[in-house]
Amino acid sequence: MQVKGHVALITGGASGLGEATARALAALGAKVGILDMNAERAEAVATELGGVALIADVTSEESVLAALAKLKEEAGSAARIVVNCAGIAPSARLVGKNGPHSLELYRKVIEINLIGTFNVMRLAAAEMTALDKLEDGDRGVIINTASVAGYEGQIGQIAYAASKGGVISMTVTAARDLSNMGIRVNTIAPGLFITPMFLTVAEDFRKSLESSIPFPSRLGTAQEYAKLAMAIVDNVYINGETIRLDGALRMSPR
């Protein structure tokens, strides 16, 4: 599917992997909707890319519906490309120094990473069904973001691993559910990427993380994530798949 002239929605588009993907899509000629809770950054990125800032919470039906309506009105069409990057990654053990894992924190991670992804998928896909079919009989594509933690979560990642495992599990089912509408669903499972999260990490810790990555033995860049997202958009035969993007990294317990 060509990107040029289409509308794209990127959740978590104000930072990190989502921002890089929004930049790549805009460079290829898409009108981008930057959906994020961070209003200041979303406005700044959208203004720079000639896109639309959508201040919304992925976990809320009302908030996402309002964002989709604003994007459709300002961009002139519903999104054909949806990239789900909004997420959080707090860490806590099942039982830690202060007792059992907080149930509230577990629910929050599932709510944002898993239910938020589901919420945006269902509402955006429903809008996509009204769009005309393109030359391959497709109407659009959804790309979700899991994590290698969805396969092998490290110590302290129990909530995060569960949320990302859920995103991986939804992928083929969502692709099957939407197949008769010509909407593809794929997921990228990144390893370790340089995003604002990593800028605060101590140099020696970063080096030890990098040495655990077989090749290339460094953190991935947000642009490399965006390149894979563009390849998924472009190739209509990629569907129902989760693709690891990790330099052959397999996470150790800690």
Ligand X SMILES: NC(=O)c1ccc[n+]([C@@H]2O[C@H](COP(=O)([O-])OP(=O)(O)OC[C@H]3O[C@@H](n4cnc5c(N)ncnc54)[C@H](O)[C@@H]3O)[C@@H](O)[C@H]2O)c1
Which residues of this protein are in contact with ligand X, per CB under 6 A?
A: 11-12, 14-18, 36-38, 57-59, 85-89, 112, 116, 145, 147, 190, 192-193, 195-197
| 60/235 with CB nearer ligand X | 60
**Which residues sit opposite 220 in a β-bridge?**
193
DSSP state of 112: I
Nearest to ligand X of 3, 222 (CB atom): 222
In the residue annotation, 160 being an active-site residue is answered as: yes
Residue 152 Cβ vs ligand X, minimum distance, rounded to whole Å: 12
> Quick one: how far is CA 228 from the chain centroid?
12
* DSSP 8-state class, residue 246: S
DSSP code, position 240:
S
Supply φ then ψ for residue 63, to 5 degrees. -65, -45
Catalytic annotation, pick one of 106, 160, 225, 237:
160
Question: Judged by CB, which is closer to ligand X: 36, or 138?
Answer: 36
* Distance of alpha carbon 233 from alpha carbon 228, whole angstroms: 9
Cβ atoms of 42 and 27 closer than 8 Å: no
Least gap, CB of 134 to ligand X (angstroms): 27
The CB-of-221 to ligand X minimum distance in angstroms stands at 10
Question: Which residues share a beta bridge with 244?
Answer: 189
Tell the smallest beta-carbon distance from residue 246 to ligand X (Å): 9
User: Considering beta carbons, is residue 58 or 170 the nearer one to ligand X?
Assistant: 58
Dihedral, 226, 228, 232, 235 alpha carbons, nearest 10 = 120
Residue nearest to ligand X (CB): 16
DSSP secondary-structure letter at 157? B
User: What amino acid positions are annotated as catalytic residues?
Assistant: 160
